[in-house]
Amino acid sequence: MTITCVIRYEIDPFQREAFAKYAENWGRIIPRCGGHLIGYFLPHEGANHIAWGLIALESLAAYEAYRARLKSDEDGRANFAMAQQQRFILKEERSFVEAVDGTLGIAPWQGSVR
């Protein structure tokens, strides 16, 4: 079973670029530590203070091992410290979900609309 860790962030909307840099940094760190980074997402329309990060792993045990590697990674520690110093993350919540078979990554149909 593959699970996805969905991280919901409440961010300071006036520090959007700082959060973007934080997310960009994870783009190098997360795969190196064993996570499959699906992506980070900034608000675009609607609420301007909610952002998301999605990371897939094989199991909750794999997630725990990944978190341990992340905490011991020099760049990972630096990224966490940068977020704490700049205070652009106001709140963070994690949920673990699994995809329903046949529903993930389906491209739009290219034929005529009926």
Mean pLDDT of the chain: 94
3-97 belongs to CATH 3.90.1300.10? no
Report whether pLDDT(105) > 90. no
Structure confidence at residue 41 (pLDDT): 98
- Does the predicted TM-score (pTM) go above 0.85? yes
CA distances from 97 to 7, 65, 71 (A): 11, 18, 23
Phi, psi of 40 (to 5 degrees): -115, 145
| Cα 71 to Cα 57: distance, rounded to the nearest angstrom | 17
% of the chain residues with pLDDT over 70: 96
Calculate mean pLDDT across residues 45-69. 96
Range 56-62 average pLDDT: 95
